[in-house]
Structure 1
Amino acid sequence: MTRSLHVSRALYSDAQRYLAGGVSSDARRVAGVPLYVDRAEGARLWDVDGNSYLDYVLGQGPALLGHCPPAVVEAITAQAARGMVYSAQHAAEVRVAERICAMVPSAERVRFNTVGSEAVHAALRLARGYTGRSRILKFEGHYHGWLDPVLYSVHPAVDAAGPADSPIAVPGTAGQQPGHADDLIICPWNDLDALTRLMDRHAGQIAAVITEPVLCNTGAIRPDPGYLEAMRRLCDEHGILLIFDEIITGFRLAPGGAQEYLGVMPDLSVFGKAMAGGMQVSALAGRAAVMDHISTGKIAHAGTFNSQPVGIAAAEATLRVLDERREEVYGTLYARGSALMEGLRAAADKAGVPMLVDGPGPVFQTYFTGAPAVRDYRGFAATDRAMMAGLHAALLDRGVNIVPRGLWFLSTAHTEADIAATVDAFADALGAL
């Protein structure tokens, strides 16, 4: 199948004259013409050429309730008429912070930001200020925003990344300050022996361990049983703060995020994406004993658009639905996700294609591999990512939009009929490949 892309091609031609690289984010670089969306509603997108797509990108995850959910649209519209930026406090931010503290197991205090990278930066600064230490332990394959201090060893070339059990810090871009790598310790994910060894080696130096509790920026990889529990214990033994980067998992896997889903409590957490239905709101939350070091004025945290009222209105409307209708919302997400995963597995088996379909359900990954599991970045890197790019293009031509690396997000707007249509399109795409 071939989509009509006449208008999209013309727009892309113009974009290359005025936008660096023709796009506004490197995540939107694709082979050929990028997707130019005209509008979105529910589980669907329509592009500028009139093509319709079942959408499993959902704005990289935020549209948990589907695109333009009426309650959120109504809240945004009402607040925009009352004011879009105050640079002052307002009642809604207090209500949203209170609801987050009620929903998220580890949250006793909250500070708002605009995007996830800012919230991560705030968490790391707070951890360093609280502990008086400078070093951060992060995991290979984990993404914590595009700012210089943490953009290391996300998807490095394996031949440049060092030994599997002792990776080196590989910068994610030219232009990073080389000294930032000195403050990072890179650890393989799901390797408790390596984690224990590195913590012992750098005892008294590490301010925080930061992790995606379910690794969603490199596949959709759950922690091994007992792994996060051991990480929590090791952090306590060494006086290290544990930070969960729940930008993707927060409010998607459970009302209280991955920490509720997995039953492990961090000291600090960062949230974004799904908390405001797509509006630009992020949050740093955590234990009062740590968070209150911001309120003393010792540790700076500021921003003109922090708790911006239109975004907070969207967060209030979204979190009310997720909290007060939790059984309906999460029952639907897990049921639809499970059905889609089973359908994709069956289609791949029928086509004789070695494929792994894995993840919690509200978010999951498809991998071209004969391996029975993918447990870390090196396992992900060994899958056939070029074939996955081909699948992404074939699915777009058949009206299904997924994250190019093979990640799928579900929303409450996806219906059983949508799932069936997606499985049919997937089977056809595999045949074309």
Structure 2
Amino acid sequence: MSNAELIGRARRVLAGANTNLPGGGFAPRFMVKGEGAHLWDADGKEYIDYVLSAGPLIFGHSNPEFIETLKDQLDTIWSLNSTIFQQSALEVEVAEKFVQLVPCAEKVHFNPTGSETVQLVIRLARAYTGRRYFIRFEGHYHGWFDNILGGAVNEESAGRPFPVENKQNLATEGRDTAALEQSFLLPWNDIAILEEVLEKYGEEVAMVIMEPILCNSGCCPPRPGYLEKVRQLCTKYGIVLCFDEVITGFRVALHSAQGLFGVTPDIGIFGKAMAGGLPLAAFAGKKEIMDFLLGKRVVSGGTFGRYPLGLAATLASMKILEKDDGAFYKKIDRIQKPLMDGLKEISKKRGIPMFLQGTRGAFITRFIDLGKEVAYSVRDFAAVDTQKERRWAELMAEEGVILMFGGRFYISSAHTEADVHRTLECADRVICKL
């Protein structure tokens, strides 16, 4: 079955792909095989994969050690709904490993996906504080639910800084009209604005949630001292501080971004890399907050939240990541640095402005001349050449290299020096056509 034939069949029966977030719109390529850092489509074309299933495949496709663990688990017990009558022993083992590795983790709770985990954490923070609102930040992504998807900063607000619907910021039909009034939306990395809002409304805020590194909108790092000051403010006002580490968790460091920066939130949310490609998410936090889940004070449900196959995958991931004195992370560094350096050199040689920045395991390529080394805000990319970025992704895919929308690259331990060399050759040809 060819790719073209599958496209025709898909259009008759599928209502979009698994996500229709902005950045798509390309003709789909139906993949039929994955091995290492490579994919093959239905026409037999081979690709170097820098999408990695939007980040989870930190060991690449079909990692033998990882796959063997899954096969063993399939032979034992792979599906089990944790209830009062039954529970997987793996749940205890994985939770203990979380507590060992993650600074904020005193207790752990598992869920199938990051989006619903965020919603449970909002409920938990409200129960713990007795307050309604939560604060989130421009450009940060915490799932697709009505109360947290998109919106734009209301620059003219004289009261509570609720977000406003904006077609450029993940607007959607069908959203509950009151959903955006559950949160305050602020610019990130600006401590003065956060201080001002908390001075007025701090007693009404249950939680502050953020990506500790803004991977979803430019791989922007926190300004020096920013996370520390946010931590202090949340403590001062009795607000739950939550780091959404769905992307950064276990990817940027064994102890995640909170360990990397030495700033401990009250709750951390994890997914993607955590289970190496299988669907599973978790949040971990302080005992006094997490214990609100006991006795049905805060209700959580779901069929697949603690299924043994996902737990086995998570345990396998953690064991691979922590062995051999961090060999996994050293491998990522050896691949990522020459790739980023090579792309910078090509853009300079060809006279096409390209801004690159990232964290371990993820980086972005944006077609803009910022005139500075570091972008701390999504607003720094307001003048980016989106048409050139779209063309960049399209032409790279034609050359056999696939990357995410917004020019994001994910790096796995399966990528090789040969992959880097081939990618740079393709990039040089593509940039000449932009």
TM-score, normalisation: structure 2:
0.93
Distance 1:381 1:325 in 2: 43
Match 1:62 to one of 45, 50, 56: 56
Q: Distance in 2 between matches of 1:314 and 1:263?
A: 27
Aligned residue type for 2:345: A
| 1:19 lines up with 2:20 in the alignment | no
Q: Return the alpha-carbon distance in structure 1 between the equivalents of residues 247 and 36 of structure 2.
A: 20
Which segment is superposed worse, 308-317 or 79-88? 79-88
Take 1:56 and 1:220, find their aligned partners in 2: how far apart are those partners? 15
Moved more, 316-325 or 393-402: 316-325
Amino acid in structure 2 at the alignment position of 1:90: S
1:27 CA drift (Å): 4.1
Query: 2:38 — aligned with what?
Result: 44
Would the alpha carbon gap of residues 16 and 326 (structure 1) be closer, same or farther in structure 2, given more than 3 Å must change? farther
Q: 2:103, 2:70 → 1: CA distance?
A: 28
Q: Matched residues in 2 for 1:11 and 1:92: separation?
A: 39
Mapping of residues 274-285 of structure 1, within 5 Å: 274-285=273-284
For 2:397 and 2:198, locate their aligned partners in 1 and report how far apart those are by CA, in whole Å: 45
Given the superposition, is the C-alpha separation of residues 385 and 164 from structure 1 closer, same or farther in structure 2, using an over 3 Å criterion? farther
The counterpart of 1:108, out of the listed 106, 109, 120, is 106
Report deviation, 1:164: 11
Deviation string 1:44-67 (CA, Å, 9 cap, x unpaired) is 111111111111111111111111
Q: Match of 2:173?
A: 174
For 1:18 and 1:205, the matched residues in 2 are separated by: 46
AA in 2 matched with 1:355: M
C-alpha distance 333-163 of structure 1, shift in aligned 2 (>3 A): farther
CA apart distance, 1:302: 1.9
Structure 2 match to 1:149: 147
Work out the percentage of aligned pairs sharing the same amino acid. Answer: 37
Structure 1 letter corresponding to 2:3: S
- How far does residue 381 in structure 1 lie from its aligned partner after superposition? 3.0
**Residue of structure 2 in register with 1:386 after alignment:** 387
CA deviation vs aligned residue, 1:339-396 (integer Å, no higher than 9, x gap): 1111110010001011111011311111111112432222223211221111000100
- Alpha-carbon deviation of 1:230? 0.7
What is the letter of the counterpart of residue 42 of structure 2?
V
SS at match of 1:418: helix
Cα deviations by residue, 1:103-147 (Å, 9 ceiling, x for unpaired): 111111000001110111111111011000010100011110011
Contact 1:58 1:66 in 2 (8 A): yes
Matches within 5 A, 1:215-226: 215-226=214-225
> In structure 1, how many angstroms separate the alpha carbons of the residues matched to 2:23 and 2:221?
28
Do the aligned residues in 1 keep the contact of 2:26 with 2:394 (CA within 8 Å)? no
Check conservation: 2:163, 2:181, Cα contact below 8 A: no
Q: CA deviation at 1:161?
A: 5.5
Distance 2:196 2:22 in 1: 38
Q: Which amino acid aligns with 1:382?
A: A
For 1:376, the aligned partner's letter is: S
**Higher mean displacement: 241-250 or 321-330:** 321-330
Contact (CA 8 Å) 1:162, 1:168: kept in 2 or not? no
Any conservation in 1 of the 2:357–2:363 contact (CA below 8 Å)?
A: yes
TM-superposed CA distance for 1:32, in Å, is 4.0
Q: 1:375 to 1:254 in 2, by over 3 A?
A: same
Measure the CA separation in 1 of the matches of 2:288 and 2:162.
Answer: 33
CA shift in 2, pair 1:148/1:162, >3 Å: same
Report if aligned partners of 1:164, 1:378 keep a CA contact under 8 Å in 2: no
* Greater mean alpha carbon deviation, residues 269-278 or residues 319-328: 319-328
Cα distance in 2 for partners of 1:326, 1:65 equals 17
Instruction: Show the 5 A alignment for 1:12-411.
Output: 12-21=7-16, 23-27=17-21, 30-87=24-81, 88-153=86-151, 162=155, 168-170=163-165, 172-371=171-370, 372=372, 373-411=374-412
Instruction: Label 1:348 to 1:275 Cα distance change in 2 as closer, same or farther (>3 A).
Output: same
Question: Any unmatched runs of 5+ in structure 2?
Answer: none
**Structure 1 contact 28–34 (Cα < 8 Å) conserved:** no
RMSD: 1.8
> Are the equivalent residues in 2 in contact too, given 1:255–1:326 (CA < 8 A)?
no
Change (3 A) 1:313 1:431: same
What SS does the aligned partner of 2:195 have?
Answer: helix
- What is the letter of the counterpart of residue 78 of structure 1? D
Label 1:292 to 1:325 Cα distance change in 2 as closer, same or farther (>3 A).
farther
> Aligned equivalents of 2:74 and 2:200: distance in 1?
53
SS of 2:215 mapped into structure 1: coil
Q: In structure 2, the residue corresponding to 1:148 is in which secondary structure? A: coil
Q: Aligned partners of 1:141 and 1:289: how far apart in 2?
A: 31
Give the AA of the match of 2:48: L
* 1:198–1:161 Cα change, 3 Å: closer
CA distance, structure 2, for counterparts of residue 29 and residue 237 of structure 1: 40
Letter of the 2:265 partner, please give it.
P
SS at match of 1:208: strand
User: Does the residue aligned with 2:147 lie in a helix, a strand or coil?
Assistant: helix
Deviation readout 1:139-178 (Å, 9 max, x if unpaired)? 011110011111133xx5xxx8546997833363111111
